[in-house]
Amino acid sequence: MSDFILIVDDEQRIIDLATMYLEKEGYTVRSATDGLNGYRQIVETNPALVVLDLMLPGMDGLEVCRKVRATSDVPIIMLTARSDDIDKIVGLELGADDYLTKPFNPRELLARVKAIMRRTQRADSAPAGGSVSVGNVNIHPDRRAVEISGRSVDLRMKEFDLLLLLARNIGKVFTRERLLEVVWGYDFAGETRTVDVHIAHLRHKLDGMTPTIETVWGVGYKLEAR
């Protein structure tokens, strides 16, 4: 993976503002102003993180995200000019790691970039730990692989990290804020809808799994043996 951040946005002022804040923190930044060029750069240069606008000429951000996720787990922060939940949910469903609604505070973008980069670096350097077996689920951190009753299940990076955390803490309730802190690396009040969408993805992909991911209403989630 390369050591730069790619910003894909058709508004030059957004690129300039985000670049200024990111470069002040020592990040190298590249940019693209349309979806086709952005997608091409992602495939050819494999950036460390992508800041991806939803509304792009040529190929919109959702399509770029869909195509990238077919072959890569590069972290993606999606930008949307609309506050509609459907845009955010679709982006997360397609594999975006997070999103920000325009207009956004560049300091918040910087904070989220730092959080994702810290999390990625920790995942790369931390010892994987031993396999975890719970019910009919086997989790192998060294290979980032999951099996249900011997059947392999394909999980994205954050989905895997969520499942592993819950499986290592059977019966323990995690608030959405705590999950954001541990899995996403946020040390501030992030958008908890991100957690809900990833949990929904996990439940769908892990159909037939025992134990099950339980909602503790008003609090958060836990993995509960039955």
Looking at the fold, whether 19 and 111 belong to one and the same domain comes out as: yes
Q: Which of 73, 108, 125 is the last residue of a domain?
A: 125
Q: Write down which residue in 69, 102, 125 finishes a domain.
A: 125
Same domain, 101 and 176: no
- What SS3 state is found at 134? strand
3-state secondary structure of 152: strand
Residue 159 domain boundaries: 132-224
Query: 4-8, 42-46, 199-203: which range is least confident on average?
Result: 199-203
| Tokens at 10, concatenated | 């058709």
Give the number of other Cβ atoms within 10 Å of residue 37's Cβ: 16
Number of structural domains, the chain? 2
112 and 49 within one domain: yes
C-alpha 79/C-alpha 96 separation (Å) is 10
Q: Are residues 139 and 49 in the same domain?
A: no
pLDDT tens for 126-179 read 445 678 888 899 999 888 889 998 899 988 888 898 999 999 999 999 998 888
- Please provide the average confidence, as pLDDT, over all residues in the chain: 85
CATH code for the domain of 56: 3.40.50.2300
Give the H or E element holding residue 122. helix 106-125
Domain end point (choices 125, 150, 165): 125
In angstroms, the CA 8 to CA 31 distance is: 6
Domain shared by 176 and 65, yes or no: no
* Same domain as 40, residue 83: yes
pLDDT at residue 1 above 50?
A: no
Alpha carbon of 38 to those of 1, 4, 30, 46, 108: distances in Å? 16, 14, 10, 11, 23
Judged by DSSP in three states, 124 sits in helix
Give pLDDT tens digits for 84-140.
666 667 777 777 888 888 888 999 899 889 888 877 765 554 445 678 888 899 999
What is the pTM (predicted TM-score) of this model? 0.69
